[in-house]
Amino acid sequence: MYRYKITFAYDGANFSGFQIQPHKRTVEQTLKNAVNKIAKHPDPPIPVIGSGRTDAGVHALNQVAHFDLPYHLSNESMRKALNSLLPLDILVKKAELVSNDFHARYSAHRKTYRYRVDQGEFVNPFKRNYTAHFKYPVDVDKMREAARDFIGEHDFTSFVASGSQAKSNIRTIYDVQIHRDPAQNEVVFEFTGNGFLYNQIRIMVAFLLEVGSGQRPVSDVKRVLAAKDRTQARMTAPASGLYLVSVDYGKDAERN
């Protein structure tokens, strides 16, 4: 068997998330259809393993998945074959033959997510699916100060949605960057960590916006982390602003 790693972007607006669900249009199902068409519909069908799920409406700039094919195709032929079969809201940017011990989910070392918040007075019709909308002024320095308390290894029980199936809520955040994009009239957040819990980034962003708009003190991140109580963080920012930017793997994962 030949294992392929693919790196791909998708516009999440018209997908019911990554994970396969009956009678729904999902990223995983759409990729699986294309891979199995290339493989001439083997029985059982070839599964496609993503680095992780994204929710309905969440986007990806460089999501990663792997699958095994019974025969060899060049990287470029694989990329072209997939793109010729995929709808325009998924683009395979790279396909690579990798060693059989590469695993899109288990080999992932770190992930980076971006969150875009539009600060316009009204919801911009062209951004409604691509940003969150928060019209109140925010103090970026305050949010940066508060965000520093997220960095490191923490129990994120206060920042996980109730549907989470994770065994442990302990995760490590390596970096949080927050900047204004004046051209777009946006505030942009970037989080890098060894993995994120269900809705964790959306809850952290909503929390930081409350800090930035003066509804919470800067010190609240520390307090609410320590409380280990989901009801303390309250809000979840919408899916539309969230982008999976990259998934990082060890260098030894690639064969070619």
Q: Which residues are annotated as a binding site?
A: 113
Cβ closer to its own copies: 47 or 120?
A: 120
Q: In angstroms, give the least distance from the CB of 126 to its own copies.
A: 5
Rounded to a whole number of angstroms, the minimum distance from the CB of residue 14 to its own copies is 10
Q: Decide whether 59 or 171 has the Cβ nearer to its own copies.
A: 59
**Peptide bond before residue 44 is cis, with ω within 30 degrees of 0:** yes
Rounded to an integer, what distance in angstroms lies between the CA atom of residue 122 and that of residue 74? 48
**Whole-number minimum distance, CB 83 to its own copies, in Å?**
7
Q: Which residues are catalytic?
A: 55
Query: Rounded to an integer, what distance in angstroms lies between the CA atom of residue 72 and that of residue 75?
Result: 9
Calculate ∠ Cα 150-153-157, nearest 5°: 70
Sign of CA dihedral 44, 48, 49, 52: negative
DSSP per residue, 198-226 = TTHHHHHHHHHHHHHTTSS-TTHHHHHHH
Distance CA 185, CA 248 (A): 30
- CB of 150: closest distance to its own copies in angstroms? 28
Q: What share of the chain is helix, strand, coil (3-state, %, to 5)?
A: 25, 30, 45
Is beta strand 90-98 parallel, antiparallel or unpaired with respect to 108-118? unpaired
Note the residues at the interface with its own copies (CB under 8 A).
Answer: 9-11, 59, 83, 88-91, 93, 122-126, 128, 130, 183
Rounded to an integer, what distance in angstroms lies between the CA atom of residue 69 and that of residue 20? 20
Q: What letters, b where the CB count within 10 A reaches 16 and e where it falls short, cover 217-231?
A: ebebbeebbeeeebe
Which residue, 1 or 88, is less far from its own copies as judged by CB? 88
By C-beta, is 2 or 130 nearer to its own copies? 130
Find out whether 174 and 193 touch, Cβ atoms under 8 Å.
Answer: yes
Return the number of the residue (95 or 211) whose C-beta is nearest its own copies. 95
Annotated binding site for substrate: 113
